[in-house]
Chains A and B, each alone.
Chain A
Amino acid sequence: MVIFKFMRNKRLFILMIGLILFISLLGFSSGRTGLTWPERFVNDAVGTVQEAFYRPVGAVSEFFRDLGRLSDVYEENEQLRQTVARYTQDKIRYNMIENENKRLQDDLHFTERQKQLYDYRYLIAQVIASSSNPYDKTIKINLGSHDGIKPKMAVTTVDGLVGLVSKVSEFTSTVTPLSELDSTSTDAISIAATVLGREDQSFGIVDYDKENKVLQMSKIDENDQVVEGDLIVTSGLGNVLPKGIIIGTVISNQVGDFGLTHTATLEPAAKFDHLTEVFVVVTSDVDAP
């Protein structure tokens, strides 16, 4: 009897139905990659307007930040001059090695697929908005499937890896920053990483520690000497991310869980907020028909 009276309460009944509908919507939407046309339409329509606001405001804000840093310009200029000098030397060396590499590849009869494996294209994208959802913080960029963007492509700035493309519509796409790729979440993507300069010796898996705002590189071999100041880059193993994108620098390295492997703490190279220009890394699609 009580339960019937309970059910007759229309308000509660509707609430229950709403709850069930929403939980099924949430379950249905998690782990999906495609978008339906209403979603794409809303994204693209609002994206155009957001772009018109985000970029001018960003330009003004950057201008004021630059004004504040005017005194550092002299020092920075000096540093850049040294970097350019080193760059020209390296460029000569690089050209030599690349030619040599090409010749050797030809001699060893590399297939077309092997030759193109590490041939990446960088597409410049403008950030047009950022979300205010604390557990699912995404940013939007102004490139979409029209420009050849696909889900799970790597997104970087000049400093380093920012995140992965998550959902793609016609002219815009959303990017999940590295800071949301939680290792404990159900759809975690493990980033295979290695130390720059010792790519064939080091290996570890990078994820983000949200409470301490640092990256963690776990499962490092205990004989592997990862020390403070080492530059960590993606290793390209696992075929999710391209090879050689900077992730961060090592702050400390200690014995990890179970005492069998080491876990290093990394300072992220790129910042994940106040972004203006990012690059989407397009790998040459050699497996496509």
Chain B
Amino acid sequence: MRMNRTILLTILLLIIQTAILPWLIPSAWSDRLLPHMPFVMTVFVALFGGRYKAFFFGLGFGLAEDILFYGELLGTYGFALALVGYLIGLAGERKNHLLSFMLLAVGVGSVVMDTIVYFVYKLFQLTSLTYAFALYWQIVPTLLLHVGFALLLYLPVRKWLAKAGAGEESSAS
């Protein structure tokens, strides 16, 4: 994994996520589709770069996202992304980097991340929504969007960011 390029790309994606994507999502869906580009990139780092890199990558970008939009709490996304990155790295250690496994990891990871975030806010009594409502209202639609973004990014990431020799990639430009 070429970490410098990955970090640059993720910063760019984070800015796109916060400044451009809100305009592309229609008003009726704006509180249902809440994509997290650093999460998608964390999954790629976990699959191509291993669990330790994914842990620190997720921690860093999660905290960055927390600080940028500090409303009530700091550290929810830092915690959730670091944990999800580590777990996916652990699960994906012996697997080939098949597309289907990547999609499964993004799907499961998305639900796990949003669930952790929900329960943190529930723990601090900052939300009164029920889990069933949150699941139906934002977690599942966001999961589909995450899978879509992962599909979109899969080829560019494998071509330019996955290091030569790690996996089936032989000569990256």
Q: Do A and B bind each other?
A: yes
Chain B residues positioned under 8 Å from A35 (CB to CB): 70
Contact of B71 among A28, A49, A50, A136 (CB under 8 A): A136
* Residue of A whose beta carbon sits closest to that of B114: A134
Contact A166 B70 (CB under 8 A): yes
Within the complex, what minimum Cβ distance (angstroms) separates A233 from chain B? 25
Cα separation A57 to B23 with both chains bound (whole Å): 7
Minimal beta-carbon separation of A245 from chain B (angstroms): 21
Residue of B24, B27, B65, B127 near A273 (CB, 8 A) is B27
Q: How far is the CA of A185 from the CA of B72 in the complex (A)?
A: 11
Complex alpha-carbon distance, A50 and B65, angstroms? 13
A18 within 8 A of partner (CB): yes
B68 x A42 contact (CB < 8 A):
yes
Q: What are the residues of chain A within 8 A of B70 when measuring CB–CB?
A: 29, 35, 39, 138, 166-167, 174
B125 touches A184 (CB 8 A): yes
Do A132 and B34 have beta carbons less than 8 Å apart? yes
A128 within 8 A of B: yes
CB distance B134 to A54 under 8 Å?
A: no
Asked if A135 and B127 make an inter-chain contact with CB atoms under 8 angstroms apart, the answer reads yes
Kindly state whether residue B31 has any CB partner on chain A within 8 Å: yes
Within the assembled complex, what's the spacing in Å between the Cα atoms of A130 and B118? Answer: 19
CB-contact partner of B18 in A30, A130, A187, A210, under 8 A: A130
* A180-B23 in contact (CB<8A): no
| Cβ of B109 to closest chain A Cβ, rounded Å | 16
Q: How far is the CA of A31 from the CA of B107 in the complex (A)?
A: 33
Tell me whether B19 and A185 are in contact (CB under 8 A): no
How many residues of chain B get a CB closer than 8 Å to chain A's CBs? 49
A129-B18 contact, Cβ under 8 Å, with A35-B70, A174-B71 = yes
Closest beta carbon of chain A to B139's beta carbon, Å: 8
Q: Give residues 3-42 of B contacting A (CB, 8 Å).
A: 14-24, 27, 30-31, 34-36
Q: Mark A1-44, 1 if CB is under 8 A from B, else 0.
A: 00000000000000000110010011111100001001100110
Nearest CB of B to A152, in Å: 13
Residues of A within 8 Å of B120, CB to CB, are 26
Query: Does A61 reach chain B (CB closer than 8 Å)?
Result: yes
Q: Which residues 91-117 of B sit at the A interface, judged by CB distance below 8 A?
A: 114, 117
The answer, yes or no, to whether B78 is at the interface (CB within 8 Å) is yes
- Shortest C-beta distance, B115 to chain A (Å), equals 12
Q: Is B79 an interface residue (CB 8 A)?
A: yes
Q: Contacts A133-B34, A136-B121, A211-B133 given: A271-B27 contact, CB under 8 Å?
A: yes
Among B47-76, those with CB < 8 Å from A are 64-65, 67-76
Closest to A24 in B: B75
In the complex, A18→B58 CA distance in Å?
14
- A167 nearest in chain B by CB position: B70
Which residues of chain A have a CB within 8 Å of any CB of chain B? 18-19, 22, 25-30, 35, 38-39, 42-43, 46, 49-51, 53-54, 57-58, 61, 128-138, 140, 166-167, 174, 176, 179-180, 182, 184-187, 210-211, 271, 273-274
Interface residues of B (CB under 8 A from A): 14-24, 27, 30-31, 34-36, 64-65, 67-79, 82-83, 114, 117-118, 120-121, 124-129, 133-134, 138, 142
* Shortest Cβ-Cβ A-B pairs, 4 listed: A131-B69, A29-B74, A53-B19, A132-B34
7 residue pairs from A and B, CB less than 8 Å apart: A26-B76, A43-B68, A61-B24, A134-B114, A166-B70, A187-B126, A274-B23
